[in-house]
């Protein structure tokens, strides 16, 4: 009579080892996927709720030069846009503009005094500049008029020429900075740009209170060269 042993067979051992390895491999995969999902969730939460304010400043290719106070006070009229790509609110307390005459090397400081375009009517009401609160993912667009700091004399733009401007934003620091503020807060770099004053007229600036456009050197409102056309394509025939 033949008796069959109940012990484990070599084939059963190999099958069990393969199954254990497969289960272990799947566990590692699940752990890795869970860790990646956790990192993505944490990054998304930071971007949407905890990211510190990231203020950026944009200036167009053309600004304006004007005079106030009967022609004695120089004014730079600067349209600008401020964006906040962070999640937290950013506050701009004031703006400082430094103008440098590239011909005489004279420099002069200006501050953000009023909002809106330069008024032809000297008696028109002015909107004083006030601190700006830029919410997370928010944008502020406005024209700012910069007036001299202190004595308006001597003028920096007595004649036509090229000027370099440095525009800085003075922002408010958090009253109670947390770990994120200390770790990720960034210093806002000033915007530096050059513009050309094509002419100066004391009468036009003083009595008539006009503004003179100061474009970026080489800037034009139209393309420098017209788009190329294919001369091989015949124009459609006129209707008979």
pLDDT at position 224 is 52
**Ramachandran category for residue 73: left, alpha or beta (phi over 0 → left; psi -120 to 50 → alpha):** beta
- Of 108, 88, 181, the closest CA to residue 149 belongs to 108
Provide, rounded to the nearest whole percent, the portion of the chain with pLDDT above 90: 62
CA distance 127 to 43: 41
- Note the pLDDT tens digit of each residue in 98-115: 999 999 999 999 999 999
Please tell me the distance from the alpha carbon of residue 143 to that of residue 129, in angstroms, as a whole number.
Answer: 10
Residues forming a β-bridge with 213: 64
Contact 161, 102 (CB under 8 A): yes
Q: What CA–CA distance (Å, rounded) separates 109 from 191?
A: 15
pLDDT per residue as tens digits for the range 174-211: 777 766 666 666 788 999 999 999 999 999 999 899 99
CB atoms within 10 A of CB 150: 8
* Tokens 């000033």 -> residue: 190
pLDDT digits 0-9 by tens, 51-100? 789 999 999 999 999 999 999 999 999 999 999 999 999 999 999 999 99
pLDDT for 3: 43
pLDDT, average across residues 118-145: 96
> β-strands 90-101, 139-148: how paired?
unpaired
For the chain, the distance separating the N- and C-terminal CA atoms, rounded to the nearest angstrom, is: 113
Is the Cα dihedral 15, 16, 20, 26 positive or negative?
Answer: positive
CB 119 within 8 A of CB 66: no
């Amino acid at each position: 009579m033949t008796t069959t042993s109940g012990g484990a067979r070599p084939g059963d051992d190999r099958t069990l080892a393969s199954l254990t390895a497969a289960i272990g491999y799947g566990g590692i995969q699940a752990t890795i996927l869970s860790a990646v999902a956790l990192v993505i969730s944490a990054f998304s939460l930071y971007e949407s709720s905890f990211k510190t304010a990231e203020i950026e400043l944009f200036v167009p290719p053309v600004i304006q030069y004007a005079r106030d106070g009967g022609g004695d006070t120089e004014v730079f009229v600067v349209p600008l846009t401020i964006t906040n790509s962070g999640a937290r609110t950013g506050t701009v307390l004031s703006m400082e503009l430094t103008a440098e005459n590239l011909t005489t090397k004279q420099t002069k400081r200006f501050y953000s005094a009023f909002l809106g375009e330069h008024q032809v009517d000297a008696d028109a009401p002015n909107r004083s500049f006030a601190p700006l609160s830029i919410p997370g993912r928010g944008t502020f667009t406005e024209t700012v008029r910069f007036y001299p700091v202190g004595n308006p004399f001597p003028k920096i733009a007595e004649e036509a020429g090229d000027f370099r401007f440095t525009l800085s934003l003075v922002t408010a620091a958090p009253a109670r900075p947390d770990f994120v503020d200390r770790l990720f807060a960034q210093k806002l770099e000033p915007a530096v740009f050059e513009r050309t004053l094509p002419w100066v007229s004391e009468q036009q600036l003083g009595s008539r209170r006009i503004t003179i456009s100061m474009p970026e050197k080489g800037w034009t409102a139209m393309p420098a060269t017209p788009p190329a056309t294919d001369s091989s394509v015949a124009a459609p025939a006129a209707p008979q």
